[in-house]
Each structure stands twice: as C-alpha cells, then as structure tokens.
Structure 1
Amino acid sequence: MSQTSLIARMALAATPVLALAATPASAQQAQPAAGTNVPPVAAAPVPGEMELAQLIWSTMVAIEHANASGNYTVLRDTAATGFQINNDPAKLAQIFAGLRSTRIDLSTTLVTAPRYTAPPRQLRPDVFQVQGYFPLRPRTVVFDLAFQWQNGRWRLFGVSVEPRVMLDQAEGAKPAAK
C-alpha cells in the first residue's frame, strides 16, 4: 500500500480496497460565536484498546456481510456522513470487487486480536487512523482504517483492506508488502 495518507488519497483502487470520505462543509461542526453562552462541542473520547479492537472487528464483519450479500447499504449507512456522500452502495460494490474476488472470509478476523503496525494517530481532532493486520494463515488481512467522531460515536471514515501472503510464519512477523 502506498505511504500516501489515507484521507489525502482520493483515488479509488480495487486492490487494496480503498474507500474514503471527504468532509463536506455541511458536515463540519459549527463553532459557537465568541461571547455566546453555548458550551463547546465535547471532544471525542480517545478509544481504549478494547473499543479500538471492537471498531476494527465490526468493520471487518460489516465488509464480510456486504461482500457475501452483495449489499453495501448497511456498511455505507453506518459510516460517517462524508463517507456516505462519497460512496453510494453501487460504488462500494465496485470498490470491493477485487477483495470479493479473493473469496477471503473476513469473519475469521474475529478469532484473533488485531496487531498494530503503528499506534493510532489523530489526523484531525475528530478523526483518527489505525493501521495493522490480522495474522491469519495462509493470508493475513492488512487494514488501514480511519474513524470519525460523529453523533456521539466513532464511525467509519476511510477503509483499506487487503489480504496478503505472510512470508515469515514466525510469531510476530509482519505481513510482506506486495
């Protein structure tokens, strides 16, 4: 996968799967005018280890269900507004076609904890990115995900998922880049 930022990269590719969101002006939160008595918007809570794993697992399962059914509506509708605006279900079906063709069962990611290749990083005050993989055999599942804090919860903002062959089967080995 390219070293280009997940959010900055707007080109869509079949493999690795990459679906992104742009933040439209209408989706940005308005700040109160100076001198008003309106409290500031609550800061997004930083997800803990378990919540982070749950976000990643739920994303993998949502993609698996969408791939199995051919219906990307739920994946889209549970994502952040910018993601929804930029990715209708037909476009998501097209984006995930390459991943679907690999016939990988993403529900197997539920049997192991995700491993991180870098600590989660804030891209903006309301968006963070997490990169890592699930050490499955014979193909590991590499992910690059972004989540946006919206309406009191983290929602999918950007996604890249790619199955890769693990060259070194030793415990703790990182997946080989394509």
Structure 2
Amino acid sequence: MQPSLPVTLEQALYLIRSTLLTLNDANRTGNYTVLRDLAAPDFQARNTAADLGLNFLDLRRRNFDLYGAALLAPQFADAPALDQRGMLRLAGYIPTQPQQIKFNLTFQIVAGQWRLFGIAIATAEASVQPQAQAQTQAQTQAPPAKLAAPLQKKSQ
C-alpha cells in the first residue's frame, strides 16, 4: 500500500499549472502583481512585484513561454510531500522541447487554501541528464535559500 499524499494528484497538477501559467502571464505583461497577490503572506512580505520582475527578467527577455505547463503532464522528482514545517513541496519538470521547464514550488496552507510560498524555475535542454542541469534561470523564494537545491532525487 502506498503512503497517502498530502494532496491528490489532481490538486498537485492544478497548483503546478496555475502557478506556471500565472508566472507566464506575468512574464508576458511585465506585471507581477497578481502572482504576488495570490501568494502566501510571507511570500508577499519578502517580494515586491518589482522584485519578482527582476527575478524573472531572464525568462521574460528570452520570451520563454511556459504554456507547456497547460498541455503536458508534469513529471515529479519526488512524490508531493509536506516538509517539516507543513509546507507542500512540488518539484519536477514539464517535458517540453527543446527545453524542459524545471520547477520547485513550495506552498503554504493559508485559510484552508494552498498558496505559493516559494518558486524556483529553470530551463534545461531536454536531452541533458539530471546530474548536468542547466543553471537556474529565475529563482524567487521565501525564506532565502530554501529552494536553491537542485531538483534531483536524493541519493539513498
């Protein structure tokens, strides 16, 4: 019997897709207010809309479209899990071509809803092995350095 997940796979899929598509809209418009306003209060306290614009500047300049998140199923690095603080961690990649969308998202429960607490997005050539990941292109997190770890499975 498998251990129970903190959210259903459908809920995890919704959280990943809605977050990446909201980020995509922010990148396309240069307006990060909605992304910030939908996030957890701790995320809002640590990030202004202008900060988010700077953190995702590279994706925006490259016109990197995250629409693949709406079309393709994410591949999880690990099963959705709660960390020691009760935060939900969703990490993995969207198998887009020629570059994959690697994501590491953390959500905090606020008034009964999962809200974005930390986000790290990277793009890597789809043929690259996980051990040779591309450098992170955009990273915003709360608290600092929480999501800076590579998106690899931990060695046993």
Instruction: Give the TM-score normalised by structure 2.
Output: 0.78
Q: Give a deviation string over 1:20-74, Cα, whole Å, max 9, x none.
A: xxxxxxxxxxxxxxxxxxxxxxxxx921000000000000100000000100000
Query: Do 1:166 and 1:174's aligned partners in 2 also have CA atoms closer than 8 Å?
Result: no
Match of 1:22 in 2: none
Runs of 4+ aligned residues of structure 1 deviating over 2 Å after TM superposition are 173-176
Rg comparison, structure with higher value: 1
Q: Matches of 2:78 and 2:88 in 1, distance apart?
A: 12
Percent identity of equivalent pairs: 34
DSSP 3-state at the match of 2:107: strand
Q: Which among 103, 111, 135 is matched to residue 143 of structure 1? A: 103
Q: Matches of 1:87 and 1:113 in 2, distance apart?
A: 29
- Relative contact order, higher structure (CA 8 A, sep 6+): 1
DSSP 3-state at the match of 2:67: helix
Query: Do 1:166 and 1:175's aligned partners in 2 also have CA atoms closer than 8 Å?
Result: no
Query: Do 1:143 and 1:159's aligned partners in 2 also have CA atoms closer than 8 Å?
Result: yes
Match of 1:28 in 2: none
For structure 1, the residue ranges without an aligned partner over 5 or more in a row are 1-44
Match of 2:68 in 1: 108
Match of 1:87 in 2: 47
For structure 2, the residue ranges without an aligned partner over 5 or more in a row are 135-156
Match of 2:8 in 1: 48
Number of residues of Structure 1 aligned to a counterpart in Structure 2: 130
Q: Matches of 1:175 and 1:117 in 2, distance apart?
A: 13
